[in-house]
Amino acid sequence: MKIFNFVKKFIFRYKGSLIVFLFFSIIGWLMSIIVPYITGNYIDLLLQSKDFKVIYDFTAKIILIGITTIFTSFIVSYTYVKIQTKSMTDLNFYVLDHVTKLPILYFKGVDSAYLNQRINSDSNTVVSFVLAKVIPWNTMPATKGTIPGVWYRRENNATSDNC
């Protein structure tokens, strides 16, 4: 958690983008939960229904869900890169500002290009880690809560079909 506490001041500078990222991440998560259920119902409908209007309506819903999934995926990817790049740059400037305050003799025999490359690389790695591993934990409890509900519904549908 020390990494998160250190990096959060750079990430939370972009609260608007972070809120958009989290919002569309949740929508994308919901779509990933809904799509298999909808697809299963669609296949059942294709096998059982004789009415083409119902099939066309269901097909339109699936296309709409697909377009929504593509749109949310684009927004999530775009805001992720935006937050990552800006936060990495801020962290990079913070570390470089700290380095410029160190005594000159501290850097005797140190390759300055290598040091600058290491600072850039490490800043990018730390910010990417926090965004990829810590921030998306908002959907983990919801997933753990949803899976038993889906199993329960599946089992009830299977038992009602057998009666």
Per-residue model confidence as pLDDT tens for the chain (163 residues)? 788 888 989 999 999 998 998 889 888 888 888 888 888 888 888 888 788 888 888 889 889 999 999 999 999 999 999 999 999 999 999 998 998 888 888 878 888 888 889 999 999 999 998 888 766 666 666 666 666 766 666 666 655 555 4
CB atoms closer than 10 angstroms to residue 52? 9
The residue count for the chain: 163
pLDDT at residue 47 in the model: 86
| Cα dihedral 160→161→162→163 (10° resolution) | 50
pLDDT of residue 44: 85
Please report the pLDDT score of residue 31 as a whole number. 86
pLDDT of the residue at 67: 93
Q: What is the pLDDT of residue 64?
A: 92
The pLDDT value given to residue 86: 95
CA distance 92 to 100: 12
For residue 122, what pLDDT is reported? 92
pLDDT at residue number 36: 84
User: How many Å apart are CA 33 and CA 141, to the nearest integer?
Assistant: 14
At residue 15, the pLDDT reads: 92
Q: Rounded to whole angstroms, how far apart are CA atoms 12 and 60?
A: 39
Picking from 150, 161, 144, the residue whose alpha carbon sits closest to that of residue 36 is 150
Structure tokens at 112: 């300055």
